[in-house]
Amino acid sequence: MATLKSEDQEFGSSLTIEPGEKFTISAQGNTQADHPLETQTWQHVKLTLVNGPNSLVYQTQPGDEKVAELTLMQNALADIQTVAHAYLLCRHPQDEAHVLAERLQQLAEAQRSQVLFEPAEPSFELSVKSAGAGVKVEFFVDAGNVETGIYRWDALGIRFFTNNQLLTDFVAELKSEFAC
């Protein structure tokens, strides 16, 4: 698991992104000429937010998904609905874990001043910005989207300050955990 920790040692906060199972779906269009458009690979993630003694864990609950059966589905609509009801990162055709790790590394190396990241299936949003001598982190989870399949502008989140060393450590863990 990759954990981004706050610099506050007295009342620490953190964000953890943990990889889960991968699965593949076939995205299909509406006309015969469109079948199949592409194969997509997705990966479940477990999101843990910690603030002092309090923690919130977001993950697709066992039984909500039948990952092994996804590759057997013929109905593209069913595949799309399954993706809409989970905490996921797209791994193919675009590797979102790799994109996130690269952008955060660029921020740590002062090649960019901020990173705004929201996966293709919008179950969370991460904002990381250089802030003087530190780094400001804001992370919001859109559980309403996962539960209903409808993108909503409601979220529960966490914000904290960290530093470049802790950000660099997080990037290394992210690359290792997600093999990117």
Higher pLDDT, 53 or 148: 53
State which residues form the domain around 30. 2-177
pLDDT at residue 75 in the model: 40
Mean pLDDT of the chain, nearest integer: 83
How far lies 179's CA from each of 43, 98, 121, in Å?
12, 8, 20
User: Which structure tokens are listed for 112?
Assistant: 């960019």
Q: In what helix (H) or strand (E) does residue 158 lie, and over which residues does it extend?
A: strand 156-162
The whole model's pTM is what?
0.82
Mean pLDDT of 23-39: 68
Contact 70, 81 (CB under 8 A): no
Q: Average pLDDT of 57-66?
A: 65
Q: How many CB atoms lie within 10 A of CB 62?
A: 6
Q: Has residue 71 got a pLDDT over 50?
A: no
Domain count, the chain: 1
Q: Is 135 buried (19+), middle (13-18) or exposed (0-12) by CB count in 10 A?
A: buried
Phi, psi of 15, deg, nearest 5: -125, 125
Count of Cβ atoms closer than 10 Å to residue 66 Cβ: 11
Q: Could you give the angle at the alpha carbon of 90 between the alpha carbons of 108 and 51, nearest 5°?
A: 55
Confidence band for 131, pLDDT divided at 50, 70 and 90: very high
And the tokens for 58?
Answer: 């977001």
Q: Give me the CATH number covering residue 165.
A: 2.30.31
pLDDT at 37: 66
What sign results for the dihedral spanned by CA atoms 162, 122, 94, 1? positive
Tens-place pLDDT, residues 146-180: 665 555 666 789 999 999 999 999 999 999 999 99
Report how far residue 145's alpha carbon sits from residue 124's, in angstroms, rounded to the nearest whole number.
9
- Take residue 67 and report the two structure tokens written for it: 């990952």
